[in-house]
Amino acid sequence: MDFLKLARERYSVRKFKSQQVEQEKIDKILKAIQLAPTAKNSQAFKVFLFSSKQAKQKLDDLIIFPFMKEAPLAIAIGACKTTGYLRKFDNKSYNQVDASIAATHMILEIAALGLGTTWLGHFDDKLVKNAFPELNDYDLVGIFPIGYPADDAKPSEMHSQRKSIDKLLVKI
């Protein structure tokens, strides 16, 4: 698919069918994550797949958005806190940038596969980590409910509210 067509058609899906996501599609989502570029190729992030019913339900109970429960699958992406590339001038870590690029690859592949997701940043990090201690060493950049969009799912108003290129662009 033409990239701009995909970028335009992707939107935050907040209504899901209960239909399961096929393993073949999960594999493609993971492949899109793996192919993301990272600073000095450090790849200092992890992908947490909530595929078992038990883990997914435990996660659902911690997330305030009702559509989380509708989605059959969820992924969290976390930047490693202890390893990865540090810019030598000021020790800036690019791990969260890298994890966010991986997440962006993922949400675009999800859309290309006819699936949907919403990037969730609004969650109680402490609660989630109490429930899932394996996430402790990671800065979570997002939690992503994933599934087939409901027949009546539609973009929110925000989807079409983009700043003009003039407002984003600074010519130097």
Ligand X SMILES: Cc1cc2nc3c(=O)[nH]c(=O)nc-3n(C[C@H](O)[C@H](O)[C@H](O)COP(=O)(O)O)c2cc1C
Q: Minimum CB separation from ligand X for residue 12, in Å?
A: 4
CB nearer ligand X, residue 84 or residue 145: 145
Contact call for residues 67 and 16 (beta carbons, < 8 A): yes
Q: Minimum CB separation from ligand X for residue 25, in Å?
A: 20
| CA 56 to each of CA 69, 73, 144: distance values in angstroms, whole numbers, following the listed order | 8, 7, 11
CB nearer ligand X, residue 73 or residue 99: 99
Q: Minimum CB separation from ligand X for residue 94, in Å?
A: 16
CB nearer ligand X, residue 1 or residue 22: 1
CB nearer ligand X, residue 53 or residue 122: 122
Closest CA to 113 of 2, 6, 34: 6
Q: Minimum CB separation from ligand X for residue 44, in Å?
A: 19
CB nearer ligand X, residue 24 or residue 152: 152
What are φ and ψ of residue 69, in 5° steps?
-70, -30
Q: What are 80's strand-pairing partners?
A: 138
Q: Which residues bind ligand X (CB under 6 A)?
A: 11-12, 65, 118-122, 142, 155-156, 158-159
| CA 78 to each of CA 2, 30, 33: distance values in angstroms, whole numbers, following the listed order | 29, 14, 12
Distance of CA 149 to the CA centre of its chain: 16
Q: Minimum CB separation from ligand X for residue 11, in Å?
A: 4
Contact call for residues 22 and 110 (beta carbons, < 8 A): no
